Amino acid sequence: MQGFLVFLVGLVFGIGLILSGMADPARVLGFLDLSGSWDPSLALVMGGAIMVGFFAFQMAQTRTHTLIGNVMHLPSRATAIDRRLVLGSMVFGVGWGLAGFCPGPAIVAMGSGHPKAVVFVAAMLAGMFVYELIDRYADRHRKAPNATGS
């Protein structure tokens, strides 16, 4: 039953992305084009998502378990702005501006056979793989004893 609920939530999310135009890179790029023919419709979608998210997080903070019974895991450092967050945000913004996709809408668009989305998702997965390799390498070297003995 839990798998079905997860599928249903993902399906509703995907349908919402399609209906809102978020899976259309032209709409997203139109929103980002402030000097050309700016399309403000994405701002309304974002505003609606922020409102839903705000109330959902308020409710989640009072709970210890999700609605389907899993243990609730919320970020503990929601206000920490560090180098990784800033760099990750910059990479996300550049990718969003170049391709007109962010991860969720790209997967939805890929499902409809959009060739640009296939390339974006492949690049996204490659980037995630490279990040994981670099992070594991850095972890090993942070935990390794100092060779000089100091």
Query: For position 106, what pLDDT does the model report?
Result: 92
For Cα atoms 111, 112, 114, give the angle at the middle one, nearest 5 degrees: 100
Task: Judge if pTM exceeds 0.75.
Answer: no
Please list, in sequence order, all residues whose beta carbon lies within 8 angstroms of the beta carbon of residue 100, skipping any fewer than 6 positions away. Answer: 24, 25, 26, 27, 28, 29, 32, 116
pLDDT at 150 over 70: no
The separation between the first and the last C-alpha atoms of the chain, rounded to the nearest angstrom, is: 55
Domain ranges of the chain: 2-143
DSSP secondary structure letter of residue 146: P
Element containing residue 29 per DSSP (H, E): helix 25-32
48-97 pLDDT tens trace: 989 999 998 888 888 888 877 888 888 776 677 888 889 988 988 888 88
Could you read off the pLDDT of 121-133 as tens digits, one per residue? 999 999 899 989 9
* CA-wise closest residue to 101 among 27, 51, 11: 27
